[in-house]
Amino acid sequence: MAEKKTVVMLLEPEAAINLIREQLTPTRQRQAKPQSAKRSGGPKASSSSGKSSRGSKPQEKPKPMWNEYQLVGDSLMGRLAVKLGHKVPYNNHVKAKQLGLIRHGQTTNQLLSALYEKQKPLASQTIVMIGTNDILKDSNVALTKRNIIRIIQYLADKCKKVIIITLPPIPALKEPSKLTEELNVLIVNTALEHKNVKVCDISKEFVNDQMLRADLYEEYYKGSKQIDRIHWNSEGMDLVLDSLKKLF
């Protein structure tokens, strides 16, 4: 121990400082490596978040579209969409054919729920016709009227342009429905309250000399002997499209 102490005492101050520096240098290098590793870990975390972003589902677009307008409604609008080249597939969840905000058998109550709950994307320009199934299902009249008002108000608020189609007569009914006329008056009057809502009144197009034009409707459901007389045939759909084109 005495010899080691003597050696230390013989070192010059400058030499002693250099020795201390040499001993400290490896320690600093070892400390620097973990810091470098931590820095390199940053980009990895960023990369993983990028993968999550790339893996997300693309946002669904409004459909079906025609002339930059989204078609909305029930099977009458659904068949119109098919005529325009769209496919309306069967949805097992709702047990009906559906494409966007078109759903076969849809009532005003169901459409209103779909809009409020944002079940499907809504375009800035829409063409809607709804109410036929409420008449066929003998829905509560007051509720149906309230729903129609709310649907028009909602679309007028959310969309830049709205075209609402009046309800056509229904040959399948034994007697002409007075409710159809009442709902059409309501549709026209409610639309007048909104500058961005236009009405396509097709109700008169399906009547000639106060006689219902049954020749514009399908007599039977496709591939069946079941009487239809609710849905338009090809000629009837052409008539509706011609009426809509006059508004563009």
Summarised one tens digit per residue, pLDDT across range 138-176 is 999 999 999 999 999 999 999 999 999 999 999 999 887
Question: Is 239 found in the same domain as 206?
Answer: yes
Question: Is 208 found in the same domain as 164?
Answer: yes
CA dist 123 and 121 (Å) reads 7
CA dist 125 and 86 (Å) reads 18
Question: pTM here?
Answer: 0.77
Does residue 38 have a pLDDT over 90?
no
Question: Is 144 found in the same domain as 100?
Answer: yes
CATH at 186: 3.40.50.1110
CA dist 198 and 166 (Å) reads 11
Residue 60 domain flag: no
Question: Is 183 found in the same domain as 75?
Answer: yes
Residue 21 domain flag: yes
User: Among 78-82, 216-220, 223-227, which is the least confidently predicted range?
Assistant: 223-227
Q: Which of 195, 56, 80 is nearest to 132 (CA)?
A: 80
Between 7 and 88, the more confident residue is: 88
Question: Is 164 found in the same domain as 73?
Answer: yes
Domain limit, last residue, from 11, 33, 55 = 55
Residue 133 domain flag: yes
Residues in the chain: 248
Question: Is 180 found in the same domain as 92?
Answer: yes
- % residues pLDDT > 70 (the chain): 77
Residue 28 domain flag: yes
Question: Is 220 found in the same domain as 238?
Answer: yes
Question: Is 116 found in the same domain as 35?
Answer: no
Between 54 and 194, the more confident residue is: 194
Does residue 8 have a pLDDT over 70?
no
Quote the number of domains for the chain.
Answer: 2
What is the domain range of residue 113? Answer: 65-245
